[in-house]
Amino acid sequence: MRVVKQQLQQALSRRQKQRITDSSRVAAAVLVPIYYKEGEYYILFTKRTERVKEHKGEISFPGGAYQEGDRTLVDTALRECAEEIGLMADQVEILGELDDMPTIATNYIVTPFVAFISGLQNLKVDAKEAEEIIEVPIRALLDKSCLRQETDIVNGEEVPLYFYHYRGRVIWGATARILNQFLDIFARIME
CATH of the domain at 52: 3.90.79.10
Task: Answer whether residue 185 is part of any domain.
Answer: no
3-state secondary structure of 68: coil
Task: Answer whether residue 167 is part of any domain.
Answer: no
Digit-coded pLDDT (tens) for 85-111: 999 999 999 999 999 999 887 889 999
Residue 107, pLDDT score = 87
* Beta-strand relationship, 108-117 and 101-102: antiparallel
Task: Answer whether residue 40 is part of any domain.
Answer: yes
Residue 56, pLDDT score = 63
Alpha-helix runs per DSSP H in the chain: 2-14, 73-85, 138-142, 173-190
Task: Answer whether residue 191 is part of any domain.
Answer: no
Digit-coded pLDDT (tens) for 68-92: 999 999 999 999 999 999 999 999 9
Asked if residues 73 and 35 have their Cβ atoms less than 8 Å apart, the reply is no
Task: Answer whether residue 98 is part of any domain.
Answer: yes
Task: Answer whether residue 67 is part of any domain.
Answer: yes
Task: Answer whether residue 7 is part of any domain.
Answer: yes
Considering the entire predicted model, what is its pTM? 0.93
Q: Which domain holds residue 92?
A: 2-141
Task: Answer whether residue 187 is part of any domain.
Answer: no
For the chain, how many structural domains are there in total? Answer: 1
